[in-house]
Chain A
């Protein structure tokens, strides 16, 4: 539905070539595309403006390296700045306080506070070996208290009983006293969802905060939130001193711009991601993952750079030379190419860097692809050097021998030869274009616009 930023940029920037550094004009053009991309990803407008100002400062004059186009170089600056903005310092939960350490949950209606309370309780119990109690101060929403009771039961932590007739402040006091009595390490306080213009409810959470003096006050925000994320985050951080953010429902396909808005507005780290409804679906925040998601793509840049680095430049250059001198592309060259593909590392590590959709598609094929490269190598190795140099020698009896030697059917030897021939034809076509075109030939599975241009 959306164009990734890299697609947008390659459209406007990659026709401009030759400069060693990004010019002001290029950056201005690219910034307009960036603005649209960020807005489409639901980053709040004031945050977009701010971010673009910073990008402009950093990008003008940035050196365009050999392996990247100007568009890719700009994207790289954006990716780095975005990751840095989202990330900041790595931020575990702060449990350095007199036990019971209190964690207060806050956020809009339905953002995932109660579910996240259960997930945190489980994590603290299982990983941090803490004794955890939870309590619900949501005396408003039907069955909210019951929901937390069930969730606590599922993850096996104590749940301090509360009821609809009580005041949230009284519940919190009683729970804290009980947690102290039972020598709990952590008390997690779930609260009702509230809109920020509900003054009474905002005063209520401020009072709870003052009374509980929590070590952590976590703002729980739905990753699908739009422009309002900035307003809401601001209002909550003004009412209570937030210490961190939990971004929920990241298992969906929202672009997640709210992450940037909230991070920027509150200045507080995103500590966890909710990636499912079940209690184990809580992940430590990875800024690069969310950055790529906001930009609408996987980590294509490091994929390109990695590929460029891993392809043996010398061998590739020699091959180009050879083809230029009108020598033939033979099965030895083909074998070199296959070896390079194996070199690039397991398909899976490359696939990790592709954007979601492409990743899924490719994963289906990847198992096959790797097996196929291995089989191709086995067949090639069963040939004599002479056969590899003069493929025309390969008649029926030789093919049968090779098939036997590599444990395949003759059919598959034929298949390989057809593959070789089409590669040879492709090589002939690219012979004039040098390294970049060769790369493009090798990396046929990469999305359009993502490979370096011929130089």
Chain B
């Protein structure tokens, strides 16, 4: 499992070579670093959407290592880079743990349009079900054309019950009813879909707050997980999204999707640097199995294309 996920992400992130550390060796002449070395690394980080802030921090760290004479060759530079990346990513590498005593455990999924919410929910349903949990889906996107049918297809595909009222219904009441149904059927997990919305749309953000308030009639601690789904091809706006959604509904975790394309997903670094929010999963395809828990070490390995994790 680890092997397949790792090689899949690595292959897809790097397309055969590591964009980050490829020809790193050529940056050294003898045992001094070429002047352009850091500049080149900086550009590669920016090219990965790591953002100006995270890139600045990483480069500053490396630069200080070099000036203190601790980095003199390629191996040391790689090691320093790995350490600096892990320093940013390890703190946000906390898997989602669903305790058995919270029943139903409510996962509330939010995000901007087309980020991959509904697909991620399908994958999550499959994942939790194969862990032996009883899952129910709530068709909270009552706005977009055929959103309910889309989730229904995922429900069928994963053999999961779905609670839906159709287009135009009140999202909060759909999700409320789903939780009610899940409770009476003694189910373990409810995953609630919501319509995509841009964080700039005040009334739609207010709607999310309302859904949350309504859910708290069931359980004052609900929803137990509020997941923001972020498209991995997004640039700097990903950070703005995370901040704004967090302000509106209090996020507890992130999912970064579409890392199977050519996007390097450096926003993971940008977001981790700014927000102390756990990155729960990454999406690496459209298939039912293409979702993996986020693991900082594996992710850094994938970025750096190293064959084994060195701890």
**Contact surface of A with B, Cβ cutoff 8 Å:** 1-2, 36, 39-42, 44-45, 108-112, 114, 140-144, 146-151, 154, 195-197, 222, 224-229, 231-232, 235, 249, 251-255, 257-258, 277
Contact = CB atoms under 8 A, between A and B. Distances in A.
Interface in B200-250: 200-201, 231, 233-240
Nearest to A150: B145
Given A142-B153, A143-B150, A195-B261, 8 more contacts: A2-B236, A39-B52, A42-B49, A110-B116, A110-B231, A144-B146, A228-B262, A253-B199
Contact of A197 (B15, B157, B200): B15
Contacts of B47: 44-45, 227
Contacts of A41: 236
Nearest to A231: B262
B200 A252 contact: yes
A257 B179 CA distance: 42
B156 to A, nearest CB: 9
B263 interface: yes
A143 B193 CA distance: 15
A144 B144 CA distance: 12
A111 B114 contact: yes
B46 A142 contact: no
A36 B47 CA distance: 13
Interface residues of B, number: 49
B43 interface: yes
B269 to A, nearest CB: 12
A147 B48 CA distance: 33
Contacts of A231: 262
B32 interface: no
B145 A147 contact: yes
B112 A197 contact: no
Given A196-B262, A228-B263, A108 B233 contact: yes
Nearest to A118: B145
B102 interface: no
Contact of B261 (A40, A108, A112, A142): A108
B82 interface: no
Given A224-B235, A225-B234, A226-B234, A252 B198 contact: yes
Contacts of A225: 233-235
Contacts of B237: 42, 224, 252-255
Nearest to A48: B46
A195 B260 contact: yes
25 contacts: A1-B240, A40-B51, A40-B52, A42-B236, A109-B116, A112-B114, A114-B145, A141-B286, A142-B122, A143-B146, A146-B146, A146-B150, A150-B145, A150-B146, A154-B145, A195-B261, A222-B233, A224-B235, A224-B237, A225-B233, A226-B267, A227-B263, A228-B261, A252-B198, A255-B235
A36 B42 CA distance: 12
Nearest to B198: A252
A50 to B, nearest CB: 14
